[in-house]
Every structure is written in C-alpha cells, then in structure tokens.
Structure 1
Amino acid sequence: MLAQRIVEILFPLFALVALGYVVGKRHRPELSGANRLNMDVFTPALVFAALAGRHVDVREYLSLVLAAAVLVCGSGLMGWGLARHLRQEVRTLAPPMMFNNCGNLGLPLALLTFGEVALPPMVVLFIVSNLLHFSLGVWLLDRRARLFHLWRVPTLLAAFAGLAVGAAGWTVWPPLLTTIKMLGDISIPLMLFGLGVRLAETPIRAWRLGTIVAVARPLAGMALAAAMIGLYRLMGVRLEPLESALLVIFGALPPAVLNYLFAERYGQEPDKVASIVLVGNLAAVLFLPLALAMVLALFPPG
C-alpha cells in the first residue's frame, strides 16, 4: 500500500528530527562541536565511500549534473521574481529558494526510499548543490567572495577524491573502506538529530514570508524537475528511472539550514532567512509525502 510505504520511509526521518527538536527545547545541547565533526569527518566519509566504493564514473551522471544545475539556478530565477513581487531583498529570498536541504534530508530520504543504490546519484546531486552554494551562493551574498574557499570544504574534497578513485577504477583496501563506511554511517542520524536541535533554536519572526517560500520552493523545484525530465525525453537524452525519481525528490526538498548560517555570517537579514528555513522544513511534512507519492507511483523501487 502506497500510504503505508510513504509512512515507513518518512517516519525514521521525522522521528529523529522531532527527537532533536524536543531535546533542543528541553536541554539546549551544545552541538557545534558535533556538527563540525559531521561536516569535516563523517559526511566526507559518507560521500567518499558512496563514490569510491562503487567505482562511480562522473561521466555517467552528466545529464543528472546538468539537470541539478538547472533546478538550482531556475529556482533562483523564480526566487528573484518572487522577491521583486513581494518587495523583498533578492539576496534574502533567492538563496533559500535555490539551495535545499539535500544533506540533512535528501541523503537519508534517498537511502530509505531506494536503498544503497540511490546513494551515488544522490551524492552527485548533493555535490552539485554544495558546489553552487559555496561559489554562486556566497557570491550572491558577498560580491568580493573568492572561489578558492571551495578547496577548504572537506565534503567537496572527499567528493573529488571519491570521483577520482572511481574514474581510475582503483579498489580501496576493503578494511580501509569498511572503516570509512563506519564513519559515514554516523553522519545521517547526526544530521537529522542536529537539524531538529537547530530548528528548536531558530527564532520565527517572519511567518508570512516563511510560509510563502515554504510553498514556493518545493513547487518550483518539482515543476523544474518534471520539466527537465520531459525535455530530456524529447531530446532523447538518457536519464535512468532512479535518477529521474531522485531529481523529483531533490526538487521537493526544503531550504537548507546553511542558508541561515550564511545569512548570519554576511549580515543578510538573518531573522527573515531563519524564519524561511524553519517554516520551510516544517512544511516538508506536507510536501515530501506528495513528492514520494509521485515518485513511488511513477518510479517504483526495483
């Protein structure tokens, strides 16, 4: 039964986020050190293992990479139009429209929906989003930003290393790969729990704006995903059913928490961005089941 399958997929995600939220409200734990470890050690290990452990050749995912870039930039253009219509700062509204929660929610959602086979293509989507966020996204907030900071991001370095290993056809020593996978297994539960704690700490001062973006972001993303899938079919470009399904899920994801951190760092109305991120992630309770219903009906696992 489709509804039961959707509940089975989403329950672990929302349960861990809810647990983090409750703990965050009651105990206000200091997770900055754990989150830093997750970004610098555990998530890079997950990314490297997903790419190097399966000998992923990035050339197999060029169509998916292009589609992801179109989704990110297309959502930004829609965000620009929405900001002009609402008379809001484009730099406040466009980044949350562009950059979604493909780490905290996207990776575990892909894993729970389709299993381990979904990790490499979802990691590719994650890489594209992060590359654009740490380059174009930072530039939107600060025109003086320098792109060499990309080489300081451990997740991106791990991605490039994993892609290099996969493209070269090298085999990582199995005990070492197992160690890396064990480190990577820590990342997803910690991502979800940390997201809940972060949401508990986030103030809400712009409900109306947050609600508008919470609706506009997934609708725009899913519409662009459907448009790219349809365009590829018309052009005869090969996109695997799993990749199409993950593209729809990618489009439906809420704004990334990183948007708030960047807004705070660059002084770009962080209170408004915090509200957009919080309401957007709460609205995922409605939009992710919708996206999963579409995906499981059109692209059933197996």
Structure 2
Amino acid sequence: MLIRIVSILFPLFAITALGYFVGKRLKPDMSHANKLNMDVFVPALVFAALANKEFHISEYMPLLGATLIMVLGAGVLGWVTARIAKVDPRTFVPPQMFNNCGNLGLPLAVLAFGDEALAPAVVMFMVSNLLHFSFGAWLLDHNIRIATVWRVPSVLATMAGLVVAVSGIEVWSPLMLAIKMLGDIAIPLMLFALGVRLNDSRITSVGLGVFAAVVRPVTGMLLAWGVMLLIDLPPREQALLLVFGALPPAVLNYIFAERYHQEPEKVASMVLIGNLFAMLFLPVALALALV
C-alpha cells in the first residue's frame, strides 16, 4: 500500500518541485503560460472530458450534489472556525471552501484511479470552479457582477461540453483528438506552474497558515464521510470524494485575495503551507480511499 501511494504522489510532487526549483533559479515569467493554461488548455481538458460519448451527466448527479454540499459545508465550517479563532472570515473562508481540485485534484484522480476517474473528477472541478468564480468572488466583493462568470473560458467549456453530452452530438473524431491533445498539456503545466507560484509566495503568518493547513483537510475528510452516509455513491466516487476533501487550498485563492485586496499575505501563507502539508494529508486520504 505504501509503495502504491508513493508511486501515485511522486509524479505530482516531482513536477511541482521541478517548477519550484526552476522558479527559484531562472525566475521564469509564467503569466503568459498561466493565461494560456486557463484560457485554452484547461477548457480543452474540461470539454474533452464532458463531451466524450461515454460521459452521461445523469450518472453523476449524486456526485454533483455531494460536491456542492462539500464546498458549501466547508464554507459554513470555515466561517464558524474563523469566528472562534477571531480571524476575518473573508480571509479564512475562501481557502477552506475552494481547494486545489484543478492543479492537484485532476492529476491525482487519474494517477490513483485511472483514466475513468477523469470525468467524475472534472464534474467535481466544475462545481468548485463555478462556485469560486461566482460566490467566491462575491464573498470578497459584494459589488461584483455574478453574471461575468459566464465569460470565464473554463465555464464556457463546461457549458459547451454539457450541451454536447446531453444532446448526443458526436464531435468529429480528428477534432476531438486535437482538443484532447490540447487538454493533455493542462495537467503537467498546472503542476509546474504551481511549483513556480509557491516559490513566489511569502510566509508572513505561520501560525494562521499551519492552523488553516490542518483544518482544511481534517474538516474536508470529515465532511466527505458525512456526505457519503447521506448520498449513495459508487465506490470510486466515494474514494474521489474523500481525496477531494483532503486537498489543500487552491492557488486561485491567493490571486483573488490579491485582486480584491483581502489580506493577500495571510492567504498566501495559508495556500503555501496548506500545499506543503498536503504531503502529510494526501497519503492518509489515499490510504483510506484505497482500502
């Protein structure tokens, strides 16, 4: 079991570590690569997974509901925890709600559970992504226009993929192959960019960062356990939900905090330390999921 867990996690942390050391030594400007990834490669990955003729959204409605409960439940627990710890909820809650289901979650799902796990993992990513760009942005700025979420390329790709899946339209196979090849770029580039981004982050609030790094996966896995008691899910989706609960805060939380001037240094500490602590909590989650 230990060898299997190491073999699953090693590629993720190896590529992330490479990004960290390349970022430290060469200091590459990843802004253009990140924009291409978010605007082209990730949307291609999402569309290819959803528009696949073997994908049927009706099969994943329980998982969709379970993920929604997970994200919103993490927000409620995060708000209560922030009140008890006397931390600004707008600083603490988003990193608790929105985890790294893109950079780490998608590749981890495929490596741990095979290519068949990509579609349900994308469904979970879709729910989290939609909520992050709408409700998550509103948490930081109540004046934001929620309607602008439809301009986000990954959201547009989600809608397009669902339309193709529901309507039964069959995309021309050479075109689908081209889209899939573009999507294949997304996962390694996300991991590499994560490493570079972590190198740029600075730890200013160690205590808060460690506190959030422990609370996020512990409450996430407890939520997953509770949701699995309420919603009947296939074994593979139960395992995915447990791993989803253990994922660290998304790097996007730092980007949002910086954009809306919501204590970005504290959020950066939570994100950085949370992703470092993932090396402790993800093996635990995988051990439980693979039993």
TM-score by structure 2 length?
0.98
CA distance in 1, matches of 2:152, 2:114: 27
In structure 2, what is the equivalent of residue 293 of structure 1? 287
- Preserved CA contact (<8 Å) 1:99 1:129: yes
In structure 1, what is the equivalent of residue 273 of structure 2? 279
In structure 2, what is the equivalent of residue 300 of structure 1? none
Q: CA deviation at 1:191?
A: 0.2
Matches within 5 A, 1:95-244: 95-232=94-231, 238-244=232-238
CA distance in 2, matches of 1:200, 1:289: 23
- Once the two structures are overlaid, the 10-residue window that deviates more, 183-192 or 241-250, is 241-250
Q: State the 4+ residue runs in structure 1 displaced beyond 4 angstroms.
A: none
Letter in 2 for 1:186: I
Q: CA deviation at 1:55?
A: 4.1
Q: CA deviation at 1:281?
A: 0.3
Deviations 1:29-53 (A, max 9, x none): 1000000000000010011111112
* Unpaired segments ≥5 residues, structure 2: none
- Equivalent of residue 247 in structure 1, options 221, 241, 251: 241
CA distance in 2, matches of 1:221, 1:59: 25
Letter in 2 for 1:226: W
CA distance in 2, matches of 1:267, 1:142: 10
- Preserved CA contact (<8 Å) 2:19 2:191: yes
CA distance in 2, matches of 1:142, 1:58: 32
Corresponding residue pairs, total: 291
Letter in 2 for 1:229: M
Letter in 1 for 2:271: V
- Preserved CA contact (<8 Å) 1:259 1:273: yes
Q: CA deviation at 1:149?
A: 1.1
Letter in 2 for 1:246: L
Determine if the alignment matches structure 1 residue 258 to structure 2 residue 240: no
Q: CA deviation at 1:172?
A: 1.0
CA distance in 2, matches of 1:145, 1:241: 39
Flag the 1:170–1:55 CA change in 2: closer, same or farther, 3 A.
farther
- Preserved CA contact (<8 Å) 1:97 1:255: yes
Letter in 1 for 2:81: L
Q: CA deviation at 1:24?
A: 0.8
Q: CA deviation at 1:282?
A: 0.3
Flag the 1:85–1:47 CA change in 2: closer, same or farther, 3 A.
same
- SS of 1:195's equivalent in the other structure is helix
Q: CA deviation at 1:168?
A: 1.3
CA distance in 2, matches of 1:296, 1:141: 37
Letter in 1 for 2:69: V
Determine if the alignment matches structure 1 residue 62 to structure 2 residue 87: no
Matches within 5 A, 1:28-47: 28-47=27-46
- Preserved CA contact (<8 Å) 1:55 1:169: no
Letter in 2 for 1:267: H
CA distance in 2, matches of 1:135, 1:53: 27
Identity of aligned residues (%): 60
CA distance in 2, matches of 1:95, 1:54: 35
- Once the two structures are overlaid, the 10-residue window that deviates more, 102-111 or 163-172, is 163-172
In structure 1, what is the equivalent of residue 80 of structure 2? 81
RMSD over aligned CA atoms reads 0.8
Flag the 1:54–1:292 CA change in 2: closer, same or farther, 3 A.
farther
* Unpaired segments ≥5 residues, structure 1: 233-237, 298-302
